[in-house]
Structures are given as structure tokens and as C-alpha cells.
């Protein structure tokens, strides 16, 4: 999964020859799972057609303040377009557009959207070499940088004027990777290792039977995806689960038993910044090592159970700088029990789910949690999708983690 997956990108195109490359740019973002909307300056239409861009972006393309071809003209809402975007990119950005952006001149829809934007804005300049090097242009670019806009470097090479030099817009795929690198470098968990346990564990009775539980692993997988979206290198230690995840920064390590989960957890705990134990680990395992299937005739009246290692309690006991988060699934005295676990297991936070909440918990797509930390009032959240719960959990973790690290 790419960093742009599910992201909304507003592409502003101004009138330079490099505009002919923008359909490829739109394609490159869409290939990464992004949604793209395009705003063009009127003069950019001399270099690339709105129809091409509407077709590749699968969205209407706007270039004027008023919706065209209408008996009852409508306002093309630049504010709505700007606020829709997770990222805005202006490519190619001509000297004229850069100068207008620097001076807050609102002479077309693209500039209006830029001036209304709240998201991170990238600019890919494209000019002839002398125009690019002109002190006035350099000053305008520096002003944009001061305003928080990310100005991409230009490439050196063959220019439309026939001259050779610096000023070429970067190739579409280079623009995408530049943005990707820039965004990931600034993500809050960039360079941090986040380790999670997820799913159930299966404790063997004999080679074909086991003691397990109904945990699907969904909450843990959603937390792993959120950690990766925040820039972390993620190790997801999963018990038997039908789920999988495809993300360059998530390594899934499959285990079956509590003992195996314990060993793998210890291995990855030392250099973890954050460890989240969301697995429904079996607390007991059969005290048998039957290597053959137990036959009906042999009789099977009793299973002796012995405790499994409490992974989270161990990690709490040996904790150094890790931010350690547990889960608690309770059916009565929920808050007191969760608070007790938080203290006993030396945790930095605990996520409480109650089996008493309808539609929440094991198996389903939704969860209703209360987030507890030492010496702080518990925070109760509404019933939400597990993906949305993962966002809430990491919002809370980051608030506390950023203070301690
Ligand atoms: N946990 C763990 N290893 C175990 C059991 C639990 O790491 N052997 C973790 C779970 O992943 C969860 C937390 O401990 O994050 C709470 O588990 P829970 O079973 O509710 O707590 P227990 O200590 O077993 O307490 P109780 O059975 O009394 O509820």
C-alpha cells in the first residue's frame, strides 16, 4: 500500500509546455491509490486538454470561477475544492503563477484554491533557464518556501526554447517520489519501530485439536495500518487469522501459540518505540504434548491446563523506553479492572473494550473503546469502525508519546 493510497490530491496546472506531462502525473497518483481533482489556469488549456485530464482523473476539471455551459451558472467553489484536498500540487508552476502565489493575487480559480488551502502545498516550477534563475523568480520561490510551500527543485536538461540548462519540471514519477519522501520524512512515527500483537492464539490439545478464541485480529491489523500510515516500521505478530495486509512498511510474523508469540515479541521489543498488545492470548494451555491424535476409544474426560506466559506483564516488567499499550476485554467492573491491569502490568495506556457493548468487539468491523492512562481521566469514544478506532488510539498515543520522547 502506498502513502498516497486513499489520499485526495488537488492538482493545479498552469500554462507552460510541461503541462503536456500532467496526464501522466495524474495517472501516477491514481496508480498509487489516490483520488485526483484538477484545476487548470485558462492558459494551460493551450498545452493539454481538460477532456484528457477529466478522463484520466475520472473527475470534472475546473478552470473558471463560474461553471460553464449552464443556463443557470453556478459558482465553482474554490474553498470546497481546497479543503477537500489532503495535498495540493501545482505542476507545472510558471513564473507568473509562482509570483501570484507569493503575492496572494487571486486572478484565477487555481490561485483562489491555493489561497484557501489548508493542506500541504507542493510546487513544481517549470521555466526557461534565465527566467528560472531571475532574481525576481528566485525571490518569489523563497517567499513561497517561507509561507510553508514545498518548492521542488527543477531538473537540468533540454528546454522548450532549445536552450540547455536548469528549469525543467521534474518527470511525473520523480515528482511523486519527491512528494512521497518529503511527506514520509515528516510523519510523526518516521524512523520508529511499532510492534503489535494481534489475533487469537491456538493452544494444541493434540495435532488436530486446540483451545482458541473468536478473535479475528481486525483491531490489530487496523492498528498496524495506522502505524504504517504515520510512518512507522511495523512488526505485526499475528496469531492464526484469515487477514493479511499489503504494505511496504508492515512485516507480518505469523505464530500459533502464546509461547511462540512470547518469543517473537521479546525479540522485537528491545528496539520498539511503541508496543501494542491487542492479541487475545490464551491464558492457559493444555498440559499435554500428545504427538498423535487422541482417539475416541482412548477416552478424553479431562484436559489439565497450565498458564501461558503473560507476554504483556513480562514486557511491562522489563520496560525501558518503550511506550507500552495493552488491551482489556471486560464484562463487569470494566473501568476498575482495566485500571488494575494498567497498573499491574506497568503500562503507559490500556484500551478497554466491553463485551457489553452491542456491535462491538470480536469479529465485527466496529468497536467501542475507552482509553485509559495513568493519572488521567478515562476517555470514552463512540462506537466506530475499527479503522477509525485505530486513528483515535494513535492520536492518544502520539499525544503522550511526543511528550515523553
Ligand atoms: N496478554 C498477553 N499475554 C497473555 C494474556 C494477555 O500479552 N498471556 C495481553 C493481551 O494482549 C491484552 C492484555 O494482556 O493486551 C489483557 O489481557 P487479559 O486477558 O484481559 O488480562 P489478564 O491479565 O489475563 O486478566 P484477566 O484474565 O483477569 O482478565
How confident is the model over 221-227, as a mean pLDDT? Answer: 97
What is the rounded CA–CA span in Å between residue 77 and residue 241? 46
What is the DSSP annotation of 327-389? EEEESSSHHHHHHHHHHHTT-SEEEEEETTSTT-SSSSSEE-EEEE-TTS--EE--SEEHHHH
Split at pLDDT 50, 70, 90, the class of 357 is: low
pLDDT > 80? residue 323: yes
% of the chain beyond a pLDDT of 90: 82
Q: Report the half-sphere exposure of 160 (CA within 13 A, side-chain side).
A: 13
Model confidence band, residue 10 (pLDDT cutoffs 50, 70, 90): very high
Tell which one of 283, 347, 362 to mutate to probe ligand 1, the residue whose CB is within 8 A of the most ligand atoms.
283
pTM of the model: 0.83
With contact defined as beta carbons under 8 Å apart, do 322 and 265 qualify?
no
Residue among 236, 281, 337 to mutate when testing ligand 1 (max atoms within 8 A of CB) = 281
Q: Which of 237, 312, 340, 393 to mutate to test the pocket of ligand 1 (most atoms within 8 A of CB)?
A: 312
Closest-CA residue, ligand 1 atom 24, reads 283
pLDDT value of position 134: 97
233 Cβ contact list (under 8 Å, min separation 6)? 191, 192, 193, 194, 249
3 state SS of 266: helix
Q: Which of 59, 77, 213, 337 is catalytic?
A: 213
* 238-287 residue pLDDT tens: 999 999 999 889 999 999 999 999 999 999 999 999 999 999 999 999 99
Work out the pLDDT band at 355, boundaries 50, 70, 90.
Answer: confident
Q: What is the mean pLDDT of residues 329-333?
A: 88
What's the CA-to-centroid distance between 304 and ligand 1, angstroms?
A: 20
pLDDT of 368 over the 70 cut: yes
Asked if the model's pLDDT at residue 96 lies above 80, the reply is: yes
3-state secondary structure at position 398: helix
Q: How confident is the model at residue 203 (pLDDT cuts 50, 70, 90)?
A: very high
Rounded distance, CA 359 to CA 379, Å? 20
Mean model confidence pLDDT for the chain: 94
Q: 13 by DSSP, 3-state: which?
A: strand
* Number of other residues whose CB lies within 10 A of the CB of residue 270: 11
- Over 70: is that where the pLDDT of 315 sits? yes
Mean pLDDT along residues 229-241: 97
- Taking the C-alpha atoms of 109, 111, 117 and 121 in order, what is their torsion angle to the nearest 10 degrees? 130
Expressed in angstroms and rounded, the spacing between residue 111 Cα and the centre of ligand 1 is 55
Q: What is the largest CA-CA distance in the chain?
A: 92
Helix, strand, or coil (residue 77)? coil
Q: What integer pLDDT is reported at residue 67 of this predicted model?
A: 78
d(CA 256, CA 378): 33
pLDDT beyond 70 at 356: no
Question: What per-residue confidence (pLDDT) applies to 118?
Answer: 97
Q: How far is the CA of 173 from the centre of ligand 1 (A)?
A: 47
For the ranges 75-79, 303-307, 333-337, the lowest mean pLDDT is seen at 75-79
Distance 306 CA to ligand 1 centre (A): 15
Domains of the chain in start order, with CATH, are 8-185 (3.40.50.1950), 193-404 (3.40.50.10300)
Alpha helices in 117-195 (DSSP H): 129-133, 135-146, 172-185
Strands 284-286 and 323-330 come out as: unpaired
Amino acid at each position: 500500500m502506498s502513502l498516497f493510497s486513499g489520499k485526495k490530491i488537488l492538482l493545479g496546472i498552469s500554462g507552460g509546455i510541461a503541462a503536456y506531462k500532467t496526464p501522466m502525473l495524474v495517472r501516477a497518483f491514481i496508480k498509487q491509490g489516490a483520488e485526483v481533482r484538477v484545476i487548470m489556469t485558462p492558459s494551460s488549456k493551450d498545452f493539454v486538454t481538460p477532456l484528457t485530464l477529466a478522463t484520466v482523473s475520472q473527475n470534472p476539471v475546473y478552470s473558471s470561477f463560474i461553471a460553464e455551459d449552464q443556463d443557470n451558472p453556478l459558482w465553482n467553489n474554490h474553498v470546497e475544492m481546497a479543503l477537500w484536498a489532503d495535498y495540493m500540487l501545482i505542476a507545472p508552476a510558471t513564473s507568473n503563477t509562482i509570483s501570484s502565489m507569493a503575492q496572494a493575487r487571486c486572478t484565477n480559480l487555481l490561485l483562489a484554491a491555493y489561497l484557501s488551502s489548508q493542506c500541504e502545498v507542493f510546487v513544481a516550477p517549470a521555466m526557461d533557464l534565465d527566467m528560472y534563475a531571475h532574481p525576481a523568480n528566485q525571490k518569489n520561490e523563497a517567499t513561497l518556501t517561507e509561507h510553508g510551500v514545498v518548492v521542488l527543485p527543477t531538473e537540468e536538461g533540454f528546454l522548450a526554447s532549445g536552450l540547455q540548462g536548469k528549469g525543467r519540471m521534474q518527470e511525473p514519477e520523480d515528482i511523486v517520489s519527491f512528494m512521497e519522501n518529503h511527506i514520509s520524512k515528516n510523519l510523526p512515527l518516521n524512523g520508529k519501530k511499532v510492534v503489535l500483537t494481534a489475533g487469537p492464539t491456538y493452544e494444541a490439545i493434540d495435532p488436530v485439536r486446540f483451545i482458541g478464541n473468536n478473535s479475528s485480529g481486525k483491531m490489530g491489523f487496523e492498528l498496524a495500518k495506522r502505524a504504517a500510515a504515520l510512518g512507522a516500521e511495523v512488526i505485526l505478530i499475528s496469531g492464526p487469522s484469515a487477514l493479511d495486509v499489503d504494505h511496504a512498511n508492515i512485516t507480518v510474523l505469523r505464530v500459533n501459540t502464546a509461547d511462540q508469540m512470547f518469543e517473537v515479541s521479546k525479540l522485537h521489543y528491545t528496539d520498539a518505540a511503541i508496543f501494542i498488545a491487542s492479541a487475545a492470548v490464551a491464558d492457559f494451555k493444555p498440559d499435554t504434548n500428545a504427538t498423535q491424535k487422541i482417539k475416541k476409544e482412548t477416552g478424553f474426560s479431562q484436559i489439565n491446563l497450565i498458564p501461558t506466559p503473560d507476554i504483556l506483564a513480562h514486557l511491562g516488567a522489563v520496560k525501558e523506553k518503550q511506550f507500552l499499550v495493552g488491551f482489556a476485554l471486560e464484562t463487569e467492573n470494566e473501568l476498575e479492572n482495566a485500571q488494575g491491569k494498567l497498573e499491574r502490568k506497568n503500562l503507559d495506556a490500556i484500551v478497554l473494550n466491553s463485551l457489553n457493548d452491542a456491535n462491538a468487539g470480536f469479529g465485527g468491523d466496529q468497536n467501542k473503546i475507552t482509553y485509559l492512562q495513568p493519572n488521567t481521566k478515562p476517555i470514552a469514544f463512540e462506537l466506530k469502525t475499527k479503522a477509525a478506532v485505530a486513528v483515535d488510539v494513535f492520536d492518544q498515543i502520539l499525544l503522550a508519546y511526543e511528550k515523553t520522547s
